[in-house]
């Protein structure tokens, strides 16, 4: 065995037919090349598998307890995965619902702020209208001719009303 040559390269060399007609070598199968590089299987064990792997645990083709155990193991893994997926979905749904609730609260706060802003805009518009009316009245009062002092005097007769009773 060539120790310095990588395994993959040795497999390629062994499985490739030689073009040298004088060597008289014949091509070998891929399986023979693999066995020559990796060695023979140990009885009851899988080559390149875990040291605990056997034909029964690897392929689970038997009809005995190992096949039943294998099927039970697969069933347990499927159930575990199914429960984990359901739990993840439930967690994601809770998280999504929580985020939606938070967004609804934020939206409600924004709507309240918008309503408050609308109220402030209406108040400012009313104040602006009042200021415009006040300024208009002040301009009008400033441009009107001054009134005579006798116009400000109102006669009140004995009966307490402010009009003249002499008209009959």
Position 133 in a domain: no
Give the distance, in angstroms, between the CA of residue 93 and the centroid of all CA atoms in the same chain: 11
pTM: 0.36
C-alpha closest to that of 166 among 77, 155, 91: 155
Angle made by CA atoms 18, 23, 24, in degrees to the nearest 5: 85
Contact (CB, 8 A) for 58 and 51: no
Position 78 in a domain: yes
Digit-coded pLDDT (tens) for 64-95: 455 677 788 888 999 999 999 999 999 999 99
Q: What are the backbone angles phi and psi of residue 125, rounded to the nearest 5°? A: -65, -40
* Residue numbers of the domain that contains 78: 61-125
Position 118 in a domain: yes
Q: How many domains does the chain have?
A: 1
Q: How far apart are CA 138 and CA 132, in angstroms?
A: 10
Digit-coded pLDDT (tens) for 21-65: 455 556 677 777 777 777 776 666 666 666 777 766 666 554 445
Position 19 in a domain: no
Q: How far apart are CA 147 and CA 138, in angstroms?
A: 16
Contact (CB, 8 A) for 37 and 10: yes
Position 79 in a domain: yes
């Amino acid at each position: 065995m060539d120790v310095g040559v990588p395994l993959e390269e040795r497999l390629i060399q062994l499985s490739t037919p030689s073009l040298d007609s004088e060597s008289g070598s014949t091509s070998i199968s891929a399986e023979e090349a693999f066995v020559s590089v990796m060695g023979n299987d140990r009885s009851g064990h899988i080559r390149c598998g875990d040291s605990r792997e056997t034909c029964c645990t690897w392929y689970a083709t038997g009809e005995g307890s190992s096949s039943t155990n294998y099927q039970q193991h697969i069933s347990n893994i499927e159930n575990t995965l199914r429960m984990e997926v359901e739990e993840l979905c439930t967690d994601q749904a809770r998280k999504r619902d929580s985020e939606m609730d938070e967004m609804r609260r934020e939206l409600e706060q924004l709507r309240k702020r918008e309503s408050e802003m609308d109220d402030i805009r209406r108040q400012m518009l009313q104040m602006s209208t009042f200021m415009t009316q006040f300024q208009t009245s002040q301009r009008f009062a400033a441009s009107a001719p001054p009134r005579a002092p006798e116009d400000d005097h109102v006669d009140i007769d004995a009966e307490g009303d402010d009009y003249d009773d002499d008209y009959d």
